[in-house]
Amino acid sequence: MGWAMHILGVLTRNRRTKLKKDHVELEVTKEQLLAKTPPRVMEDQWPEMVNYWFHEKTMAKATRAPVERANVYLKVYRRRDGTAVTPRVQENIVFGPKRPGRVRGVGFGITPSGRSATNGSQFTSTPSLPSYTTQRISELENNFSRLTEQLAQVIGCTMMLTGNWLMTYHVLADNFL
């Protein structure tokens, strides 16, 4: 039952979003929207939806800037007084001086200056694996080959034993019947 309610909520939210996208324009007033109820929308629900869209808090949410990862990190890992939760978090919060051409707060990876056509070869080469990983892969491949051979031998022995048993059964059945 929970999944049905979840799906119903998602569909309702998508429907409201589509209605707002289709009917709310920058220059349309609240009264103009209230005057014309779209088809397939209940008459008593349309005014509630329009009032919600034009409410102060809803309008403020719509004009707010998107949330950045660094701001979320600061909000989560600081106490109410503004101090970091642990010394390690304090080290992470202090980014150091800005350096041109670097994207801060997103870890190691592509930099804006590293995306030029002259540096294209760095994105096409395959990174090499550490020697331990390569050694472990070859070890696992050898074990796989050995186990495959052993399985083939076990299957062969089983077939022989089964075949001998069947032949013995048939000989005994022929003699006593």
**Tens digits of per-residue pLDDT, 130-162?**
788 888 899 999 999 999 899 888 888 887 777
Contact 46, 34 (CB under 8 A): yes
| One-letter identity of residue 165 | W
Pick the range with the lowest mean pLDDT from 3-7, 67-71, 120-124, 145-149.
120-124
In this model, does residue 115 exceed pLDDT 80?
no
Contact 70, 105 (CB under 8 A): yes
Look up the pTM and report it: 0.36
Work out the number of other CB atoms within 10 angstroms of the CB of residue 51.
13
